[in-house]
């Protein structure tokens, strides 16, 4: 993925297969960024630590849960690579296993400060990890959307503050 030089800040959301949680976070965050008028200053992408679903669109159940909240789900699954460490300012893992798998690709710990847990930014949910809804029912997908709406709101507020951005 190529980014314009004028982009101030780049976020990467990472889960296992890149068809449920991380594309949801990416699209929810893009929705919030657009509403804040910051699409030229913050860009998002998502990836998976596995290669299971490369090229696949977001899971239909996740698309339905997001659509019910007015959020379109775009994108195609891709696998996280070591080049992502340089390409992104902040890498957000959905769960501890994703976090560990990302850091395993950085044995010298040059980029560890860029890798954070997504739930660290939630203000209204006590979860420490975004649960994987893949093998569950519709309630799990709805819950993940609600959790990510909360975490993305907190992440956007922190990014605006830390990057000294002006909201439209």
Q: Is residue 113 flagged as an active site residue?
A: no
pLDDT tens per residue across span 96-129: 999 999 999 999 999 999 999 999 999 999 999 9
Question: CA 34, 77, 111: angle at the middle one, nearest 5?
Answer: 75
- Sheet of strand 115-117: strand arrangement: 42-48, 9-15, 90-93, 115-117
Global confidence as pTM? 0.95
Catalytic residue among 45, 132, 142, 150: 132
Amino acid 3: pLDDT: 44
- The full set of domain ranges for the chain reads 9-163
* Catalytic-residue membership of 132: yes
Among this protein's residues, is 106 annotated catalytic? no
Tell me the pLDDT tens digit for each residue of 41-66: 999 999 999 999 999 999 999 999 99
Topology of domain 9-163, per CATH?
Rossmann fold (3.40.50)
């Amino acid at each position: 993925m190529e980014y314009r030089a004028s982009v101030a800040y780049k976020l990467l959301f990472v889960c296992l297969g890149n068809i449920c949680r991380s594309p949801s976070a990416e699209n929810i965050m893009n929705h919030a960024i657009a509403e804040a008028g910051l699409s030229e200053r913050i860009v998002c992408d998502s990836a998976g630590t596995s290669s299971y679903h490369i090229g696949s669109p977001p899971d239909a159940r996740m698309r339905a849960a997001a659509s019910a909240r007015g959020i379109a789900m775009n994108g195609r699954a891709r696998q996280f690579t070591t080049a992502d460490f340089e390409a992104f300012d902040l890498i957000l893992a959905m769960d501890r296993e994703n976090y560990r798998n990302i850091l395993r690709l950085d044995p010298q710990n040059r980029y560890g400060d860029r890798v954070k847990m997504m739930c660290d930014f939630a203000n209204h949910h006590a979860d420490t990890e975004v649960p994987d809804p893949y093998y569950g029912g519709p309630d799990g997908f709805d819950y993940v959307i609600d959790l990510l709406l909360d975490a993305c709101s907190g992440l956007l507020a922190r990014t605006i503050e830390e990057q000294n951005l002006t909201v439209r």
